[in-house]
Structure 1
Amino acid sequence: MTERPVLIYDGDCGFCTRSVRLAVRLPVSMSVRPWQEADLAALRTTEGRARHEVLWIDRSGRVFGGAEAVAQLLKSCRIPWPVFGWIMSAPLLRTLAARAYRWVADNRSRLPGTTPACQLPPDQRPS
């Protein structure tokens, strides 16, 4: 269990880092850590999962990944952001959000703000 929810992201990825800079502007109390500096075992997750997707660990210790993590982050904010989180969690939109998230994650090396580390295959990125 954590005092505040925790957002875990890839600190070697420029696109991810820029995205988190936007997330920290949201009206929510959370800790933000790159997975490379986080105690993943204490947060009940793995390096493999953290390399694969952004993670949201709520105060009870439940771990959400990818689009679900984004939806949980939005649900934890003040109005009007939770509305967007609930919309993303609706059955049909949840599937679309997961596919959109996976496309972005798989193509982040081609998106603005990337770093040379983003362009390496996942198993060769710095840790």
Structure 2
Amino acid sequence: MATPTFVYDGDCAFCSSCAQFIERRIPTRARLVPWQFADLGALGLTTEECEQAVQWVGDDRAAGPDAFALLLRDAGRMWRVAGTALRWAPVRLAAWPVYRWVSGHRHMLPGGTAACSLPQAQRDRVADTPL
């Protein structure tokens, strides 16, 4: 089995902080990669998919909270229980609206910055603007 890949928004400070937490605390086999530095074509992903949600690419493919569920299940032990619970229909039904709310408000969460609230196209324009 190939090493799974968890793809997140590397331009978002909140997302990057979450990825650092995962790397420090959750013993997943997955490679965590900002989508801006990933070979999206090789992973079978598009920029639009990555702008919408985090992505899991492994034996299974998933986005958003489903991607987190697979990451947790991959980590084993107690994390597997949390990942399995996140895939349970009633929890999964609630997980997507919560995920969308968090992603829409990530600029206001701990570690977030104003850039986290901008769509990628606007972030690119701001970065290209001369000082």
In structure 2, the residue matched to 1:5 is 4
- What SS class does the counterpart of residue 42 from structure 1 fall into? helix
Rounded Cα–Cα distance in structure 2 between residues aligned with 1:11 and 1:83: 28
In structure 1, the residue matched to 2:17 is 18
Equivalent runs, 1:1-127 vs 2, <5 Å? 3-24=2-23, 25-58=25-58, 60=59, 62-126=60-124
Max Rg structure? 2
8 Å contact from structure 2 (residues 105, 117) kept in 1? no
> Under a length normalisation based on structure 1, what TM-score does the superposition of the two structures give?
0.90
Rounded Cα–Cα distance in structure 2 between residues aligned with 1:42 and 1:95: 30
Unaligned runs of 5+ in 1: none
> Under a length normalisation based on structure 2, what TM-score does the superposition of the two structures give?
0.87
Structure number with the higher helix fraction is 2
Residue 9 of structure 1: how far off its partner (Å): 0.5
CA RMSD of aligned residues (A): 1.6
Cα displacement string for residues 24-59 of structure 1 (whole angstroms, at most 9, x for unaligned residues): 12112111110000010110110001011111111x
Residue 110 of structure 1: how far off its partner (Å): 1.3
Residue 108 of structure 1: how far off its partner (Å): 0.7
- What SS class does the counterpart of residue 87 from structure 1 fall into? helix
Rounded Cα–Cα distance in structure 1 between residues aligned with 2:122 and 2:6: 23
Q: Which amino acid aligns with 1:35?
A: W
Unaligned runs of 5+ in 2: none
- What SS class does the counterpart of residue 56 from structure 2 fall into? strand
